[in-house]
């Protein structure tokens, strides 16, 4: 699989909505405005494409200063286990570093610990969470 990665790569809402539904196992939500959301609020994002379209995406939110946050790392089933997710996160870190961020944060479910800690190089930290 030949994959092309782009920091702030072009995409349309439909393809990210389909990718999000596949990655997070829910129905497609047609009216999510990913394009508007990331252009208004994010430091950047990384797209991964093969000849058949979008196979990966990660959003990089930030506080406007030195903290960036990995959100919604997504890879299609056909691209899974090929290093696409790891490369998305690596390029997200590179983009955040280029913007002079000092920290890249991520939170994740237990089943993704190996991916983020071993494959992507995050270190474990203590954190808190309030369900709203």
pLDDT in tens, 15-51: 999 999 999 999 998 888 999 999 999 999 999 999 8
- Write down the pLDDT at residue 30: 84
Q: What is the mean pLDDT of the chain?
A: 95
Q: Which DSSP state fits 119? A: I
- Write down the pLDDT at residue 52: 82
What is the SS3 assignment for 21-59? HHHHCCCCCCCCCHHHHHHHHEEEEEEEEECCEEEEEEE
Q: Which residues contact 9 (CB under 8 A, 6 or more apart)?
A: 45, 46, 47, 49
CA distance 22 to 76: 7
CA distance 69 to 84: 19
Secondary structure percentages of the chain, helix, strand, coil, to 5: 35, 25, 35
Q: Which residues contact 42 (CB under 8 A, 6 or more apart)?
A: 59, 60, 61, 62
Residue 71: phi and psi, rounded to 5, are -130, 145
Q: 4-119 — its CATH code?
A: 3.40.630.30
> What are the average pLDDT values for consecutive 10-residue runs of the chain, which has 132 residues?
94 96 92 94 97 95 96 95 97 98 95 96 92 91
Domain boundaries, the chain: 4-119
Task: Copy the structure tokens of residue 50.
Answer: 């093969």
């Amino acid at each position: 699989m030949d994959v092309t990665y782009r920091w702030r790569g072009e995409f349309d809402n439909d393809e990210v909505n389909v990718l999000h539904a596949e990655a997070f196992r829910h129905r497609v939500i047609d009216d999510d405005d990913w394009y508007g959301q990331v252009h208004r609020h994010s430091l950047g994002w990384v797209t991964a494409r093969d000849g058949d379209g979008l196979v990966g995406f990660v959003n990089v939110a930030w506080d406007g200063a030195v903290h960036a946050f990995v959100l919604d790392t997504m890879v299609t089933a056909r691209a899974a286990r090929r290093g696409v997710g790891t490369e998305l996160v690596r390029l997200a870190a590179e983009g955040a570093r280029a913007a002079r961020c000092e920290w890249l944060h991520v939170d994740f479910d237990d089943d993704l610990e190996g991916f983020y800690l071993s494959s992507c190089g995050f270190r474990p930290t203590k954190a808190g969470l309030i369900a709203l």
